[in-house]
Amino acid sequence: MSSGAPCTSVCWSDLAGFGWASTRSASEDVAGLGNYGLWGTRHSVGMEVLDRLARQLAVAEGWRVDKRCCADVALATAHGLELVLLKPRRFMNLNGLSVASAAEIYSLGPEDIYLVHDDLDKALGKVAIKLGGSASSFEMTRLRIGIGRPEGDVTVSNYVLSPFTAGEREKLEQILVQAVTCLLEHIQSRVPTEPGDRG
């Protein structure tokens, strides 16, 4: 079971030997990180974003289990790019194995991958997108969803593995909408511009 540590602790350094594609792909992989099966918990909010994204792209019924990468996968299209939506069927600390396997299957490089995950250091409702996260996570783009820090004597592990409160859940729908909008706008910004489409 996951230790409950922030998802930035996923052991991306263990993935250096995978067969990353050497050139930019016409596809993007959007991976919602979390603890598979622990739905509704703060640590799995990345997977909730993926479910919301799938609904918006009309592929909510398209999730299929892909045993090759141990993940739920749905294929979609946005702004002319093929999207591989991914929810690893593993606990958080092993999510990276599913992401790397999917990258091999779909011939994706690190720069073609979005990681969507919770962030303790951002207040609930804050959404931010950032290129890369650390030297060990290559150049994957991260969409960070703020969940805030626990108050009182609640441990971080218990906090991230607990469900959102009723009050937080009321705010969550708008947060998911904001996260999906931010993600799609960033994807659109990466679509190559045709020479005649600049004006």
Active-site residue list: 43
Long-range own/partner contacts, residues 129-135 (CB < 8 A, 24 or more apart) = 129/182, 129/183, 129/186, 133/8, 134/8, 134/12
Count Cβ atoms within 10 A of the Cβ of residue 157 and give its class: 0-12 exposed, 13-18 middle, 19 or more buried.
Answer: middle
Which tokens go with 150? 């626990």
Distance in angstroms (rounded) separating the CA atoms of residues 75 and 85: 6
- Other beta carbons less than 10 A from residue 68's beta carbon: 12
Burial string for 161-180 (b: 16+ CB within 10 Å, else e) reads bbebeeeeeeebeebbeebb
Strands 81-88, 113-119: pairing kind: unpaired
Is 35:122 a contact under the CB 8 Å cutoff? Answer: no
Which tokens go with 10? 């996923």
